[in-house]
């Protein structure tokens, strides 16, 4: 066999998709990671500990924004200063079409799974979906939704960073030291590839 069949080894940065999201999750730009962590903690505190709900929070933030812009515009006209810089608040047709195409793909994928379960009588897929939904329901009964989102943000900020930083020692602890790397298998994740002398 030639080298053309060798799996391509992916770094943690590449596995996260590369770009600015991977940089943020791996704390390459620490100000972005710290901002996200502090913001998520502040929002969790406001919603979970202070007892605020999302609708009143959004309404109060919008009220404060409108009041600031209104008084800025009034004072600007009285003091002969420039008006507040507001962009044209419009959504382009191209962005709506892109969102619609992505939504259509996800809805069609979900409907194809539902069809495979019902018409195709795919028991394995039925059990996977049923167990997945039961697991989500069980986790949802343990945590408030805001707390669950907060835990997800904290895990997404810590696990990739720790994996990149302590890659070799975590591979040894998990028994993956003979693993040659990850192969991207599309939308569904990654496949571990071992040496022939490995496991």
pLDDT tens for residues 111-120? 888 887 878 7
pLDDT tens string 153-196: 888 888 877 777 776 665 555 555 555 555 444 444 444 444 44
Let me know how many helices (H) and strands (E) the chain has, helices first: 8, 2
pLDDT, residue 78, reads 83
Res. 148 pLDDT band, cuts 50 70 90: confident
68, pLDDT greater than 60: yes
Rounded to an integer, the average pLDDT of 32-58 is 84
Counting Cα atoms < 13 Å in the Cβ hemisphere of 116 gives 14
Tokens of 20: 């600015």
If we measure between CA atoms, which residue out of 62, 83, 60 comes closest to residue 72? 83
pTM greater than the 0.85 cutoff: no
Percent share of the chain, pLDDT over 70: 77
d(C-alpha 199, C-alpha 187), whole Å = 26
Q: What's the pLDDT band for 138 if we cut at 50, 70, 90?
A: confident
Phi and psi at residue 196, in whole multiples of 5°? -65, -30
Question: Higher-confidence residue: 111 or 21?
Answer: 111
Q: Does the pLDDT at position 96 exceed 70? A: yes
pLDDT at 83 exceeding the cut of 80 = no
At residue 70, does pLDDT exceed 80? yes
For residue 97, what pLDDT band results from cuts at 50, 70 and 90?
Answer: very high
Residue 48 scores a pLDDT above 90: no
């Amino acid at each position: 066999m030639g080298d053309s069949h060798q799996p391509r080894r992916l770094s943690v940065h590449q596995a996260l998709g590369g770009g600015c999201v991977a940089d943020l999750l791996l704390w390459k730009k620490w100000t972005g990671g710290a901002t996200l962590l502090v913001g998520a903690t502040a929002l969790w505190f406001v919603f979970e500990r202070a007892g605020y709900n999302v609708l009143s929070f959004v309404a109060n933030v919008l009220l404060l924004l409108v009041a600031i812009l209104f008084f800025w515009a009034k004072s600007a006209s009285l003091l002969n200063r420039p008006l507040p810089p507001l962009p044209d608040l419009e959504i382009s047709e191209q962005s709506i079409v892109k969102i619609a195409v992505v939504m259509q793909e996800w809805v069609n994928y979900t409907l194809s799974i539902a069809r495979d379960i019902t018409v195709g009588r795919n028991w394995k897929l039925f059990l996977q979906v049923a167990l997945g939904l039961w697991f989500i329901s069980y986790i949802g009964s343990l945590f408030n939704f805001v707390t669950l989102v907060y835990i997800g943000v904290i895990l997404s900020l810590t696990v990739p960073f720790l994996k990149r930083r302590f890659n070799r020692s975590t591979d040894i602890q998990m028994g993956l030291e003979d693993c040659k790397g990850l192969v991207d298998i599309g939308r569904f994740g990654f496949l571990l590839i071992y040496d022939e002398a490995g496991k």
